[in-house]
Chains A and B, each alone.
Chain A
Amino acid sequence: MMAGTPIRNIPVAARDTPTSIYIAPSLTAALDALNDCGAAGSPLAGGTWIMRSPIRHEPLRPHYVAIGRIAELTAIRIGSDAVEIGAAVTHAALAAALADLPEFAGLAAAAGRSANPAIRAMATIGGNLAASDFAAADCVPALLCLDAEVEISGRDGCERISLAHFLEVRSTLASGRLLTRIIVARAERRTAHIRLPLRRSGDYPVAIVSLSVRVDAANRINVARIAVGSVESSARRWPRLEAALLGRPLDAAEAARIAAELSDEFTGRDSVDAPAWYRVSVLPGLVRRAAIAALGS
């Protein structure tokens, strides 16, 4: 007999209580419905995280408000000052929209290489950011190193906060509040997103390094943003490495050497696919690859 608890492959219909799904035709209708449902309700976008609740041994909510058909949430606006991404934009749509914008090469890679093609056509950017228990979300570190902001809407209006702050409060967001937009300012920068899956593709990454740098005329780094995903329970910036790179040329080997010196600040998470120490140990190599990719962008 095998040790451990096998995953039970049971259909949802065999589970406890019925679930309602309201397909909201507009943002106003969605916010009204979420407000009315209170703590019993939750938004449902691509469904690729929520529909896996049973295999995580988590109950489904009694009520879901489907937001995937709301026009303003599925739009991407590429302006001269900023890119605004609706929360229900899929990974595939985002990758396609950013394909010709070199400054967003990192985000395009995050959206375009995560999971597999069918999942990328379903999974949304908003879901990726809002799933607080999903440590391996690709777009979170990619957007952290772009200093992204997010718009949170409710029936009483909306507010804009930094993505970093949103990550801190997302699991306690009040009922009726909905992540509606992601806003990234345009800037001259080189970006890269490097992920290490166990297979070449299709798996969750063991670790992720996203990088965004700006270099001066002498090719020295004057702005550095580096974010690490999948190593700890939530993605976060790596401020000590960012500070150490300032004023230096963008050099992959040097960046990896410094990363090796500083990587002990991460406490990896253990899981069946990779032990904690391994997630941390691969970081210098991923930093090196990210720097090489940024040099080529």
Chain B
Amino acid sequence: MGFNLTVNGDRLSSAADPATPLVDVLREEMHLTGAKPVCREGFCGACMVLVDGEPMPSCLLPTALANGREIETVEGLAPHGQLNRIQAALEAGDAVQCGMCFPGMVVSLTHLLTTRPDATRDDIRAALTGNICRCTGYERIVEATLLALATR
């Protein structure tokens, strides 16, 4: 049995085992390596993608339950090379770090900007509790998000 996924607007199919985590299908079959399988426990957020518009750790989603759903990975957030609002703010704020956690951060914050245009600093920090940074911390990321919110 195969599965049909819409990934970054493209309709794709997979013949993976139904219990295969979505992150493995994205990386191994679709060569979308932005989502990283790091903790495989839903703690670190490095594998975060949007599923039907909601942030979801793709390490915990069996491919069978992704069938027929809209998946958006970090690769799909800048169509035609045009950075979205949070990507541009993170770049402008020199907040981009090693790249391990960052795709997941961008996915979570893209959702926050879409759904919470009035988000406060505390809201931003709460939204990032499932995205763990191993480099330098969160302050520049939070500041860049506040900048993005202010420059609507």
Tell me the interface secondary structure of chain B in the complex.
loop
Pairwise interchain contact B54-A115, C-beta atoms closer than 8 A? no
The answer to whether B17 and A52 have CB atoms under 8 Å apart is: no
A11 touches B20 (CB 8 A): yes
In the complex, are the beta carbons of B24 and A118 less than 8 A apart? no
Q: Which of B26-71 contact A (CB under 8 A)?
A: 28, 37-38, 40-43, 45, 48, 54-57, 59-62, 64-65
Number of interface residues of A (CB under 8 A): 31
CB neighbours (8 Å) of B28 from chain A are 11, 13
CA distance A177 to B108 in the complex (A): 37
Any chain A CB within 8 A of the CB of B93? no
- The answer to whether A12 touches B132, judged by C-beta atoms less than 8 angstroms apart, is no
Which residues of chain A come closer than 8 Å to B54, judged between CB atoms? 118, 121
Q: A23-B64, A52-B41 are in contact. Are A11 and B21 (CB under 8 A)?
A: yes
Tell me the minimal C-beta distance from B126 to chain A in angstroms.
7
Judged by a CB distance under 8 angstroms, whether A47 is at the interface is yes
Among the listed stretches A60-68, A158-166, A179-187, A229-237, which one makes contact with chain B, having 4 or more residues with CB under 8 Å of it? A60-68
B12 interface contact, C-beta 8 A: no
A residues in contact with B127, CB < 8 Å: 117
A51 at the interface (CB under 8 A from B): yes
- Interface range, B side: 20 to 34
Cα A232 to Cα B145 in complex, Å, equals 40
B64 touches A119 (CB 8 A): no
Assembly CA distance A118 to B59 (angstroms): 12
Q: Are the CB atoms of B40 and A118 closer together than 8 Å?
A: no
The CA of A1 and the CA of B92, in the complex, are separated in Å by 41
A115 to B18, CA, bound (A): 25
A positions within 8 Å CB-CB of B: 7, 9, 11-13, 18-21, 23, 44, 47-48, 51-52, 54-55, 60, 64, 66, 68, 115-119, 121-122, 201-203
Mark B residues whose CB is within 8 Å of A. Answer: 16-21, 24, 28, 37-38, 40-43, 45, 48, 54-57, 59-62, 64-65, 108, 126-127, 129-130, 132
**Contacts A/B (CB < 8 Å), 26 sampled:** A9-B40, A11-B24, A11-B28, A12-B17, A12-B21, A13-B16, A13-B20, A19-B19, A20-B18, A21-B64, A23-B64, A47-B61, A47-B65, A48-B60, A51-B61, A115-B130, A116-B45, A117-B55, A118-B54, A118-B56, A118-B130, A121-B54, A122-B56, A122-B57, A202-B129, A202-B130
In the A-B complex, the 10 residue pairs with the closest CB atoms: A116-B130, A11-B24, A21-B64, A19-B19, A21-B18, A202-B129, A116-B129, A51-B60, A201-B129, A118-B55
